[in-house]
Amino acid sequence: MKKILISLALMMSSLCAEQFKSELFTEGKLLYSDDFEQALDSKWWQTRTKNWQVKNGILTGAPDFKTKEEAMKALKRDHHLGLGPVIRLENLPEKFVCTLRFQYTGKEVLETRPKIDIGHHINKVFFKPGGYQLHLSEGEIFDNKKSAFKLNEWNVMTIEFTPGKLIINLNGQGQVYENKQVSLKERSEFTFKALDGGKLMVDYIRLWEGK
């Protein structure tokens, strides 16, 4: 009986994760859904550092090297050293809703890491203790200090996007950004960047095209 109840609970949790909810769109077409029970789907993900694995239902990125000196010696350069894991989710439609649960690890939040780019180097979400700072495509900046972001803990984020309007819901706190600077500028991907020496973990993600 206990096993049956656990199975039912897991099934209900999965169904809830698949449900489409949006403030911007009345309908959504599910494009991608992953609980990381199989190998990383290269149709959707492009790893920008090397140390990524899928294990026990979690996608995990870790540093490629332990120290800057080790990295510089191996790579024979002083930049893009792979000390902070980087990965991209590609093929974003022009209008979309994406929800995921993720965790960045590390000692402390820095000015520019950890972060998620909505469009590579376009709209940048820099995570801060208790929230985030959003930099739009042409430089306008918004601070959010109410969404309870925490390093080394799981966070749930939903991003709703249409040109000119962006909604970020982080840990149940939603904020609407209606601004002409909200644009992907033809960079249809998320870029996730972790702290140097830290990890990024994702245990589920859903992406819908907004209708």
Of 21-35, 60-74, 125-139, 194-208, which gets the smallest average pLDDT?
A: 60-74
Domains and CATH numbers, the chain: 2-210 (2.60.120.200)
Q: Mean pLDDT across the stretch 117-127? A: 97
Structure confidence by residue, pLDDT tens digits, 83-96: 689 999 999 999 99
Using 50, 70 and 90 to split pLDDT, how confident is the model at 9? very low
Q: Three-state SS for 72?
A: helix
pLDDT score at 80: 74
Residues 92, 166 contacting (CB under 8 angstroms): no
Alpha-carbon 209 to chain mean position: 17
DSSP secondary structure of 74-105:
HHSSSS--SSS-EEEEE---SSEEEEEEEEE-
| Tens digits of residue pLDDT in 166-189 | 999 999 999 999 999 999 999 999
pLDDT at residue 184 in the model: 96
